[in-house]
Amino acid sequence: MDAPASTAASTPFSTLIRTASHEQHTEAENSTFMSDMLGGRLGVDAYRRYTEQLWFVYRALESTAESLADDPVAGPFLRPELARTAELERDLTHLGGPDWRSGLTPLPATAQYAARIEECAREWPAGYVAHHYTRYLGDLSGGQIIRGTAEKTWGFARKGDGVRFYVFEAIGNPAAFKREYRELLDALPVDDLEKQRVVDECKRAFALNTAVFQDLGREFPLSA
Protein backbone atom coordinates (compact mmCIF):
# COMPACT_ATOMS: atom_id res chain seq x y z
CA MET A 1 0.00 0.00 0.00
CA ASP A 2 1.27 3.50 -0.76
CA ALA A 3 2.22 5.71 2.16
CA PRO A 4 -0.31 8.45 2.90
CA ALA A 5 0.51 11.64 1.03
CA SER A 6 1.41 13.50 4.22
CA THR A 7 3.99 10.85 5.17
CA ALA A 8 5.47 10.82 1.67
CA ALA A 9 5.68 14.60 1.68
CA SER A 10 7.51 14.70 5.01
CA THR A 11 9.91 11.87 4.17
CA PRO A 12 13.33 13.22 3.18
CA PHE A 13 13.95 12.67 -0.52
CA SER A 14 17.20 10.77 0.20
CA THR A 15 15.17 8.26 2.23
CA LEU A 16 12.49 8.07 -0.42
CA ILE A 17 14.91 7.28 -3.23
CA ARG A 18 16.83 4.72 -1.17
CA THR A 19 13.67 2.95 -0.02
CA ALA A 20 12.11 2.99 -3.48
CA SER A 21 15.13 1.32 -5.06
CA HIS A 22 15.78 -1.17 -2.25
CA GLU A 23 14.22 -4.15 -4.00
CA GLN A 24 16.09 -3.52 -7.22
CA HIS A 25 19.29 -3.09 -5.27
CA THR A 26 18.90 -6.58 -3.88
CA GLU A 27 18.18 -7.87 -7.38
CA ALA A 28 21.32 -6.23 -8.84
CA GLU A 29 23.45 -7.37 -5.94
CA ASN A 30 22.27 -10.96 -6.29
CA SER A 31 22.39 -11.15 -10.07
CA THR A 32 23.98 -14.34 -11.37
CA PHE A 33 26.97 -12.53 -12.86
CA MET A 34 27.72 -10.54 -9.69
CA SER A 35 27.31 -13.59 -7.47
CA ASP A 36 29.54 -15.69 -9.72
CA MET A 37 32.15 -12.99 -10.06
CA LEU A 38 32.31 -12.03 -6.40
CA GLY A 39 31.97 -15.66 -5.37
CA GLY A 40 35.32 -16.28 -7.04
CA ARG A 41 33.82 -18.53 -9.70
CA LEU A 42 34.89 -16.38 -12.68
CA GLY A 43 38.31 -15.43 -13.93
CA VAL A 44 39.90 -12.03 -14.06
CA ASP A 45 38.78 -11.79 -17.72
CA ALA A 46 35.20 -11.40 -16.45
CA TYR A 47 36.28 -8.69 -14.04
CA ARG A 48 38.06 -6.94 -16.89
CA ARG A 49 35.00 -7.11 -19.13
CA TYR A 50 32.88 -5.72 -16.30
CA THR A 51 35.36 -2.89 -15.71
CA GLU A 52 35.26 -2.07 -19.44
CA GLN A 53 31.49 -1.66 -19.19
CA LEU A 54 31.94 0.70 -16.26
CA TRP A 55 34.28 2.80 -18.37
CA PHE A 56 31.50 3.40 -20.94
CA VAL A 57 29.06 4.27 -18.17
CA TYR A 58 31.39 6.72 -16.40
CA ARG A 59 32.44 8.31 -19.64
CA ALA A 60 28.76 9.04 -20.26
CA LEU A 61 28.37 10.44 -16.75
CA GLU A 62 31.55 12.47 -16.72
CA SER A 63 31.99 13.70 -20.29
CA THR A 64 28.60 15.39 -20.01
CA ALA A 65 29.22 16.87 -16.55
CA GLU A 66 30.83 20.07 -17.77
CA SER A 67 27.68 21.10 -19.63
CA LEU A 68 25.71 20.71 -16.38
CA ALA A 69 28.10 22.58 -14.09
CA ASP A 70 25.88 25.68 -13.87
CA ASP A 71 22.61 23.82 -13.82
CA PRO A 72 20.70 24.61 -10.60
CA VAL A 73 19.45 21.02 -10.20
CA ALA A 74 22.40 18.86 -11.30
CA GLY A 75 25.26 21.33 -10.79
CA PRO A 76 25.64 20.95 -6.99
CA PHE A 77 26.17 17.17 -7.35
CA LEU A 78 29.12 17.49 -9.71
CA ARG A 79 32.10 17.10 -7.42
CA PRO A 80 35.53 16.55 -8.98
CA GLU A 81 36.53 14.14 -6.20
CA LEU A 82 33.95 11.67 -7.50
CA ALA A 83 35.34 11.49 -11.05
CA ARG A 84 36.20 7.90 -12.00
CA THR A 85 37.18 7.90 -15.68
CA ALA A 86 40.93 8.36 -15.05
CA GLU A 87 40.91 5.62 -12.38
CA LEU A 88 39.07 3.24 -14.70
CA GLU A 89 41.63 3.93 -17.41
CA ARG A 90 44.47 3.06 -15.04
CA ASP A 91 42.72 -0.13 -14.00
CA LEU A 92 42.09 -1.07 -17.61
CA THR A 93 45.70 -0.45 -18.56
CA HIS A 94 46.67 -2.79 -15.77
CA LEU A 95 44.11 -5.39 -16.83
CA GLY A 96 44.45 -5.16 -20.59
CA GLY A 97 47.78 -3.47 -21.33
CA PRO A 98 48.36 -0.11 -23.00
CA ASP A 99 46.15 -1.02 -25.97
CA TRP A 100 43.11 -1.90 -23.85
CA ARG A 101 41.01 0.54 -25.82
CA SER A 102 41.61 -0.75 -29.31
CA GLY A 103 38.59 -2.59 -30.65
CA LEU A 104 36.70 -2.13 -27.39
CA THR A 105 32.94 -2.00 -27.84
CA PRO A 106 30.21 -1.81 -25.21
CA LEU A 107 27.81 -4.69 -24.66
CA PRO A 108 24.33 -3.85 -26.03
CA ALA A 109 22.91 -3.18 -22.55
CA THR A 110 25.87 -0.94 -21.73
CA ALA A 111 25.36 1.06 -24.92
CA GLN A 112 21.70 1.56 -23.96
CA TYR A 113 22.63 2.57 -20.42
CA ALA A 114 25.22 5.11 -21.61
CA ALA A 115 22.80 6.50 -24.19
CA ARG A 116 20.14 7.06 -21.53
CA ILE A 117 22.61 8.88 -19.27
CA GLU A 118 23.64 11.11 -22.18
CA GLU A 119 20.01 11.78 -23.04
CA CYS A 120 19.26 12.86 -19.46
CA ALA A 121 22.39 15.02 -19.37
CA ARG A 122 21.21 16.77 -22.54
CA GLU A 123 17.52 17.09 -21.83
CA TRP A 124 16.68 16.45 -18.20
CA PRO A 125 19.18 17.41 -15.48
CA ALA A 126 17.01 15.96 -12.66
CA GLY A 127 17.06 12.62 -14.47
CA TYR A 128 20.84 12.89 -14.67
CA VAL A 129 20.86 13.27 -10.86
CA ALA A 130 19.07 9.90 -10.59
CA HIS A 131 21.88 8.27 -12.57
CA HIS A 132 24.54 10.14 -10.64
CA TYR A 133 23.08 8.96 -7.32
CA THR A 134 22.68 5.36 -8.46
CA ARG A 135 26.31 5.03 -9.44
CA TYR A 136 28.35 7.23 -7.13
CA LEU A 137 26.54 6.58 -3.87
CA GLY A 138 26.70 2.88 -4.67
CA ASP A 139 30.42 3.07 -5.38
CA LEU A 140 30.99 4.79 -2.05
CA SER A 141 28.99 2.04 -0.28
CA GLY A 142 28.89 -1.45 -1.74
CA GLY A 143 31.79 -0.62 -4.05
CA GLN A 144 34.06 -1.02 -1.06
CA ILE A 145 32.90 -4.61 -0.60
CA ILE A 146 33.54 -5.31 -4.29
CA ARG A 147 37.06 -3.89 -3.99
CA GLY A 148 37.96 -6.15 -1.07
CA THR A 149 36.67 -9.20 -2.88
CA ALA A 150 38.47 -8.31 -6.13
CA GLU A 151 41.76 -7.80 -4.29
CA LYS A 152 41.44 -11.19 -2.62
CA THR A 153 40.16 -13.09 -5.65
CA TRP A 154 42.56 -11.84 -8.31
CA GLY A 155 45.49 -10.68 -6.20
CA PHE A 156 45.42 -6.94 -6.87
CA ALA A 157 47.50 -4.79 -4.53
CA ARG A 158 45.35 -3.26 -1.79
CA LYS A 159 43.78 -0.10 -3.28
CA GLY A 160 46.22 -0.47 -6.21
CA ASP A 161 46.06 -0.89 -9.98
CA GLY A 162 43.03 -2.98 -10.93
CA VAL A 163 40.81 -1.60 -8.15
CA ARG A 164 41.54 2.13 -8.30
CA PHE A 165 38.00 2.69 -9.49
CA TYR A 166 36.84 1.87 -5.96
CA VAL A 167 39.35 4.14 -4.24
CA PHE A 168 38.26 7.72 -3.73
CA GLU A 169 41.60 9.29 -2.85
CA ALA A 170 40.13 12.77 -2.54
CA ILE A 171 37.34 11.77 -0.17
CA GLY A 172 38.83 11.50 3.30
CA ASN A 173 35.60 10.73 5.08
CA PRO A 174 33.14 8.78 2.92
CA ALA A 175 30.47 8.71 5.66
CA ALA A 176 30.51 12.50 5.92
CA PHE A 177 30.56 12.82 2.14
CA LYS A 178 27.49 10.58 1.85
CA ARG A 179 25.74 12.60 4.53
CA GLU A 180 26.34 15.80 2.59
CA TYR A 181 25.25 14.11 -0.63
CA ARG A 182 21.97 13.10 1.01
CA GLU A 183 21.50 16.69 2.17
CA LEU A 184 21.83 17.78 -1.46
CA LEU A 185 19.20 15.22 -2.44
CA ASP A 186 16.90 16.44 0.32
CA ALA A 187 17.28 20.01 -0.97
CA LEU A 188 16.69 19.10 -4.64
CA PRO A 189 14.93 22.20 -5.98
CA VAL A 190 12.04 20.45 -7.74
CA ASP A 191 8.39 19.78 -6.88
CA ASP A 192 6.97 16.48 -5.62
CA LEU A 193 5.86 15.32 -9.05
CA GLU A 194 9.34 15.82 -10.43
CA LYS A 195 10.79 14.02 -7.40
CA GLN A 196 8.62 11.04 -8.24
CA ARG A 197 9.96 11.11 -11.79
CA VAL A 198 13.50 11.13 -10.39
CA VAL A 199 12.68 8.09 -8.25
CA ASP A 200 11.35 6.36 -11.37
CA GLU A 201 14.52 7.22 -13.26
CA CYS A 202 16.57 5.78 -10.40
CA LYS A 203 14.63 2.53 -10.75
CA ARG A 204 15.35 2.65 -14.46
CA ALA A 205 19.06 3.15 -13.68
CA PHE A 206 19.04 0.03 -11.52
CA ALA A 207 17.27 -1.91 -14.27
CA LEU A 208 19.90 -0.73 -16.76
CA ASN A 209 22.63 -2.01 -14.44
CA THR A 210 20.89 -5.35 -14.07
CA ALA A 211 20.63 -5.58 -17.87
CA VAL A 212 24.40 -5.09 -18.13
CA PHE A 213 24.88 -7.94 -15.65
CA GLN A 214 22.60 -10.11 -17.78
CA ASP A 215 24.68 -9.39 -20.89
CA LEU A 216 27.84 -10.14 -18.93
CA GLY A 217 26.28 -13.32 -17.59
CA ARG A 218 25.61 -14.49 -21.14
CA GLU A 219 29.23 -13.84 -22.06
CA PHE A 220 30.57 -15.56 -18.94
CA PRO A 221 28.30 -18.48 -18.18
CA LEU A 222 29.57 -20.88 -15.57
CA SER A 223 30.61 -24.06 -17.29
CA ALA A 224 28.45 -26.80 -15.82
Q: Which amino acid is at 80?
A: P
Taking the least distance from each CB to ligand HEM, the nearer of 12 and 101 is 12
CB of 25 to ligand HEM, least distance (A): 6
The C-alpha atoms of residue 165 and residue 147 are separated, in whole angstroms, by 9
Question: Can you say how many angstroms the Cα of residue 184 is from the centroid of all Cα atoms in its chain?
Answer: 18
Which one of residues 16, 38, 78, 109 is an interface residue with ligand HEM (CB under 6 A)? 38
Which one of residues 53, 64, 110, 134 is an interface residue with ligand HEM (CB under 6 A)? 134
Piece of 26-34, 67-75, 123-131, 155-163 that binds ligand HEM (CB under 6 A):
26-34
Question: Are the CB atoms for 53 and 212 separated by under 8 Å?
Answer: yes
Burial class (CB in 10 A: 0-12, 13-18, 19+), 123: exposed
Taking the least distance from each CB to ligand HEM, the nearer of 101 and 176 is 176
Q: Is the dihedral of CA 120, 121, 123, 128 positive or negative?
A: positive
The residue number whose beta carbon is nearest to ligand HEM equals 142
Taking the least distance from each CB to ligand HEM, the nearer of 39 and 221 is 39
132 labeled part of a ligand binding site:
no
CB of 203 to ligand HEM, least distance (A): 11
Q: Return the residues of window 103-132 that contact ligand HEM according to CB under 6 A.
A: none
CB of 198 to ligand HEM, least distance (A): 13
50 labeled part of a ligand binding site:
no
Measured CA to CA in angstroms, residue 52 lies from 79, 89, 112, 122 at distances of 23, 9, 15, 24
The C-alpha atoms of residue 21 and residue 182 are separated, in whole angstroms, by 15
CB of 112 to ligand HEM, least distance (A): 14
Question: Are the CB atoms for 218 and 49 separated by under 8 Å?
Answer: no
What one-character DSSP code corresponds to residue 199?
H
Chain contacts with ligand HEM (rule: CB under 6 A): 18, 25, 28-29, 34, 38, 133-135, 137-138, 141-142, 145-146, 206, 209
